[in-house]
A and B are shown apart, each in its own frame.
Chain A
């Protein structure tokens, strides 16, 4: 085991009231922030349409062509608003990360993406129909007439790019496309946004003048600013400033390594145990991969530690990383940490390699002896990663520890269960009777983790107490 872990916290004697109150207040604050974020998201879609209405947008809607045109404009506005929102959700904005976690923001980004492609498409079709009707031309002739006009050709390119991205995302979701290929194609969305931009200001007269023009100029400028600051400059600056290098690599199992890294003034990162970073190890064959990996121990002022299992070709190369390797990183991200706590009781469920962030959260989060339950789930005993460390932490802090080892079982109805086959009737509430009022942390492969979450929901745990880290792209 590495010696870089912070000294184990002293066992708590009794439950200090201020911690219970702190967690409760933290939960309330985050609930408000979450709600505010949701309202802001909806407003960001509604505001452009309202601006258009405010400038007399409906005035032309007296004829069929006018109605079609209005529909085209509204779908264009909604699509643009939702694309801006998607950019913000993926911009690593600190406030969004603290509020819902970057992993959830990314998942929301992906879901919006599925809905969004319909927007530009219907925008194009409605407007083509509206203009064709107004000009008494067929669709092809109208398309040709628009083609000679302004930035129409660029807009068509944008639409084709978006179509490519949409198709590739669907294919990638089915795992038929390697992650790197998907990511490269995904970068085309930036090209689509850029090529789609000119026609918004030059062709329609919606953004051409007045408050709408100022609104959109401000929105695009702010979006660009956020993307550049939080996705480019901040990670770059942090990487250079903290000068992180690999200091130790230890095999946990033949296909799992714990990588310890050291750097300068890491306290400034304000990282919490259980958060994740995007890591880039600057070694031949490795530098072009970025790995989202969670901290597997509390960060210290000089060390960060991750534990990684070789699941794909990219992570397999990580097994060979050498001490001394420079590391670029983005992060920390996520609220799979003490920051998500809302209640005095806590249940930590780790499945497979998902055990490693659970170990980190266990180390850092606070609870009175007896108020925490740790459940580790693995197919084989050697996949109970870091189990010795976890045993020590449980003993020191007074947490109950269950290890469930064996192939995944099924229930009486033949549905998959997250518990191994040898414990057929066991549910989350059997292992932790207080689960309904506990913070439930779940980390592991999505399929199994979803089953744990379903168990927690069935036990009556409210959604805002279930903290589920997704292995999101």
Chain B
């Protein structure tokens, strides 16, 4: 327990924590995945499994208020997924159910000449309170984001609901693919 060792330990530990904190404050190690389709889905026997995202914001606390930028991280820090809406398509399509860690999402989308005009979803939270609460707060936020990009384009992950978001977008894309 020399002074040298104590000082070195303190500097090293605090340094590492500080670097971690800085990276975290700048939006995590999250580097937006361009495109997203390639890394996004694997289809197995009718259900689509959302991949574990390597860049997930790590809190499962749901956003404070629907519509707000949750947790101060905004949309730019997390993963973005690019939606491709078939040009000129109209109608209502139901995507494949996407299973994720904490449940399943099945999205039904309404299109009017290549624009998303309506979204409904069947969300199974596995009977878990905590997941139910996350879903109930995250899904409305996510729907607003999608409607804002109704013609296709980047939609960022809802902080604190990474799995739900990924599964939702996976199911949605499969619905959109049916329209095309």
Contacts and interface: CB of A to CB of B under 8 A. Distances in A.
Contacts of B72: 59, 62
B29 A57 contact: no
B65 to A, nearest CB: 11
Query: Range of interface residues on chain A?
Result: 35 or more
Interface in B1-48: 1-2, 4-6, 8-10, 12-14, 16-17, 19-21, 23-25, 27-30
B30 A56 contact: yes
Contacts of B101: 205, 208
A223 B20 CA distance: 24
Contacts of B128: 145, 148-149
A208 B53 CA distance: 9
Given A52-B58, A69-B59, A59 B20 contact: no
Contact of A52 (B2, B9, B13, B20): B20
Nearest to B53: A209
B23 A54 contact: yes
Nearest to B17: A50
Contacts of B160: 59-60
A436 interface: no
A56 B160 CA distance: 10
A42 B12 contact: yes
B92 interface: no
A205 to B, nearest CB: 6
A346 B36 CA distance: 70
B61 A39 contact: no
Interface centre among A41, A50, A62, A212 (most CB of B within 10 A): A50
Interface in A23-62: 31, 34-35, 38-39, 41-43, 45-47, 49-60, 62
B134 to A, nearest CB: 9
Contact of A43 (B16, B21, B23, B30): B16
Given A56-B73, A59-B73, A205-B58, A35 B8 contact: yes
B178 interface: no
Contacts of B28: 54-56, 59
Nearest to B6: A38
Interface in B144-173: 159-160, 162-163
Interface in A61-84: 62-63, 65-66, 69
A418 B77 CA distance: 66
Interface stretch (A129-137, A244-252, A304-312, A444-452): A129-137
Nearest to A144: B129
Interface in B63-90: 64, 71-73, 77
B29 A145 contact: no
Contacts of A56: 24, 27-28, 30, 57-59, 73, 77, 159
B56 A54 contact: no
A60 B1 CA distance: 37
A206 interface: yes
Interface secondary structure of A, over-half rule: helix
A53 B17 contact: yes
A43 B87 CA distance: 54
A69 B159 CA distance: 15
Contacts of A208: 52, 56, 101
Nearest to B55: A210
Given A56-B30, A59-B72, A205-B56, A131 B9 contact: no
Contact of B9 (A42, A149, A211): A42
A69 B61 contact: yes
A432 B84 CA distance: 86
Contacts of B10: 42
Interface centre among B52, B61, B159 (most CB of A within 10 A): B61
Contacts of A212: 58
A206 B14 CA distance: 21
Interface in A294-322: none
B56 A51 contact: no
Nearest to A136: B133
Contact of A209 (B4, B52, B64): B52
B62 interface: yes
B23 to A, nearest CB: 4
A114 to B, nearest CB: 18
Nearest to A67: B61
B89 to A, nearest CB: 34
A392 B29 CA distance: 68
B133 A135 contact: yes
B20 A54 contact: yes
Contacts of A149: 128, 130
Contact of A60 (B30, B54, B61): B61
Nearest to B131: A149
Nearest to B62: A134
Contact of A59 (B9, B17, B62, B159): B159
5 contacts: A35-B8, A41-B9, A54-B23, A55-B56, A56-B58
Which 5 pairs across A and B sit closest by C-beta, in order of nearness? A50-B20, A60-B59, A53-B20, A35-B5, A60-B61
